[in-house]
Amino acid sequence: MIAMTHAGYVAAGWLATFGLIGGYALSVLRRGRTLSRQVPPEERRWS
Amino acid sequence: MWRDATLVAGRDLRIEARSRVTLHQVAPFALLVLLLFGFALDPDRGVLERATPGLYWVTVLFSALLALARSAKLEEADGVRDALRLSALEPAGVFVGKTLAVAAELAALEVLLGIGVVILYGADPAEIGLLLTTCLAATVAVATTGTLYGALVSGLRVRETLLPLLLLPVLAPVLIGATRAFEAALAGTPADGWPWCGLLAVFAVLYSVAGALAYGTLLEGS
Amino acid sequence: MTATPTAGPAGGPPSPTSTPSRPEAHPGPASTGSRATRVIGLLALVAIGLLALYGLVISPADAEMADAVRLYYIHVPSAICLALGCFITTGASALWLRRRSAGWDALAEAGAEVALVFAAITLLTGSLWGRPTWGTYWTWDARLTSTAVLTALLVGYLALRRLDLDPDARSVRAAVLGLLLVPNFIVVNRSVEWWRSLHQESTLFRLDPAIEGDMLVAAMVGYLAFALVFTWLMIHRFRVAWLEQAADRVDLDAALAARRSEAQAPPSAPSAPTEPSEPSAAAPAAPVEPSGAATPTEVPSR
């Protein structure tokens, strides 16, 4: 795998992709937690 | 509906005639942009001539943003919106009327810019038929789309920055089509240009319909 | 919003305190997660792992593009997720205009935001793929260019959604804009493709790799992984949008209750310390008056 051609581009692409997805996921989860505290339980009927 | 449209168009144009904003501010701005392009692209290197169609239409688009913002702002004056709702005017009619008024202003701008481009960039207007038809179709396309999107941002504090952001991507096909048509005309190969003119016409029709349908919803909902 | 956090003396609706001293006031899920999302999330992680295995290690390099093809395993599914998100936004906007139920509004917002994430990934991987293959980061080919315009459309839509407006007005405008999202993209895409097809060189670009064998497996795993990630993100983002609407309602209810209670407060009572400054409310002669002046407006004025 280290002997891959264009390793830099491939690595950059993969890292950026999953970094973006992961970062966004965390941001959504965090917003979810903050909002859950402000909202009465009748409005959040999932579990 | 047409009677309503005429009423609204008449009102918008009368306001313009009295305040002359398009004449005194938008038109000079448009010519200024043409000048700026001249500074940026160095008239001695032939780039200006080759790029003339694109520069022309970009200038038209930027000027249109100003004209459209102004058209939308007319509806925000105190009580105008409520007066519109209380009057029996059909929203589609209001939409068509405003579109016609803005289209008239844009057409005037385009003629002015056309003269500007002939003088400043040395453009040689060939195939006038294609040029004029393209202008007509593009004008309707920009006017209809712009009036609808103007209503989308009307009343918002950020409308000056939001309208360009929303409108310019949508108008990309108009820019592409109009520029290609003009290029064909100026190059003396109109056969290449007419299909693009067709694209503009289709776009204009699509947005006329969309705007007429959606304008009512926007008027009520805001 | 500066809604006062206590219920008035009239004992209005239960107050949505966020004070940590009363955690039992809000039982129920502490986040937007549920069993379904935990399962999907886990599967997604496994699929991503498999994708990395197949995409980076097991599958061979392409004959023409060498290892740059490994970016394709991300680029294509990402573009599909982008398209899905946009269709969801347009569809939900249409349904909202029809039925006006808040769930469609939330769905439209979620679809657009998730789509934007995948738009960024699509553009990034497309550009990074192009550089070693064709030598430039940007080739103005039809697909990438259309994607760039679509990204601008999404940014505009999300900008409109973030505006500080009366929620109903905002929803109407966003719905009209969202409804036009896919049609706009189709028109732009057709125009750009037609335009680029006039230039011969465009046929040299974008030769999609011939996918077979292990490469096919990697591609399939890619589709699966991204489908799972997309679903997970959509569910969570939808719930966040749902909660935001609920939080707005809660704030509004609390503000209304506070207003009502202060209008009904006995004239001789000293103003409660939590009430907003309202010197005129103490006037004994004042009947129940909707005092709009000093109270900060809870419904944001346009």
pLDDT tens digits, residue range C46-92?
999 988 888 887 777 776 667 777 888 899 999 999 999 999 999 99
Taking any CB pair shorter than 8 Å as contact, residues of chain A touching chain C are 1, 4-7, 9-10, 12-14, 16-18, 20-21, 24-25, 28-29, 31-33, 35-41, 43-47
Whether residues B172 and C191 touch (CB distance < 8 A) is answered with yes
| Chain mean pLDDT for chain C | 79
Residues of A in contact with C119 (CB under 8 A): none
Highest mean pLDDT among B211-220, C79-88, C253-262: C79-88
* pLDDT tens, residue by residue, C158-213: 999 988 778 888 999 999 999 999 999 999 999 999 998 887 555 555 556 666 77
Q: What is the mean pLDDT of residues C255-274?
A: 71
Look at residue B199 in the predicted model and tell me its pLDDT.
Answer: 94
Q: Mean of the pLDDT values across residues C3-18?
A: 41
SS3 state of residue C239: helix
Query: Does C247 contact A at CB distance below 8 Å?
Result: yes
Q: In chain C, what are the domain boundaries? A: 34-200+213-253
Strands, E, within chain B: which ranges? none
- Residue B129 gets which letter from DSSP? H
- Model confidence pLDDT, tens digit, residues B40-54: 987 777 888 889 999
Please check the confidence at residue B61 and state whether its pLDDT lies above 80.
Answer: yes
A&C contacts, CB < 8 Å = 136
Q: Is the pLDDT of residue B1 over 80?
A: no
Averaged pLDDT, B123-141 = 90
What does the pLDDT read at residue C9? 43
| pLDDT in the model for residue C2 | 41
**Whole-number pLDDT of residue C206:** 55
Radius of gyration of chain C (CA): 26
Predicted pLDDT of residue B142? 96
Cβ-Cβ contacts under 8 Å, C61 against chain A? 4-5
Cα A24 to Cα B42, C80, C233, C239, C261: the distances in Å are 46, 18, 9, 15, 42
- ipTM topping 0.85: yes
* Separation CA C224–CA A10 (nearest Å): 20
Check: pTM over 0.90? Answer yes or no: no
* Burial class of residue C210 in the structure, from the number of CB atoms within 10 Å of its CB (0-12 exposed, 13-18 middle, 19+ buried): exposed
Domain that holds residue B60: 2-221
pLDDT in tens, A8-30: 888 889 999 999 999 999 999 99
User: In this predicted structure, what is the pLDDT of residue C270?
Assistant: 52
Chains A and B, touching by 3 or more CB pairs within 8 angstroms: no
Angle C46-C47-C51 from CA coordinates, rounded to 5°: 120
The residues, ordered by sequence, that sit 6+ positions from B146 with a Cβ below 8 Å of its Cβ are B64, B65, B67, B68, B71, B102, B167
C60 or C291: which leads in pLDDT: C60
Helical axes C72-99 vs C102-134, angle rounded to 10°: 160
The mean pLDDT value for C3-32 works out to 49
Burial profile B141-157: b = 16 or more Cβ within 10 angstroms, e = fewer = bbbbbbbbbbbbbbbbe
**Per-residue confidence (pLDDT) for residue B102, from 0 to 100:** 94
Are C173 and B152 inside 8 Å of each other by CB? Answer: yes
Contact C240/A at CB under 8 A = yes
Confirm or reject contact between B209 and chain C (CB < 8 A): no
Shortest distance, CA C178 to any CA of chain B (angstroms): 11
Q: How confident is the model at residue C267 (pLDDT cuts 50, 70, 90)?
A: low
Structural domains counted in chain B: 1
pLDDT given at position A23: 96
Judged against a pLDDT cut of 90, whether residue B147 lies above it is answered with yes
- Nearest-angstrom CA–CA distance, C123 and C112: 16
Contact check, Cβ <8 Å, B176/C163:
no
Model confidence at C6, pLDDT cuts 50, 70, 90, reads very low
Q: Min CA distance, B92 vs chain C (Å)? A: 15
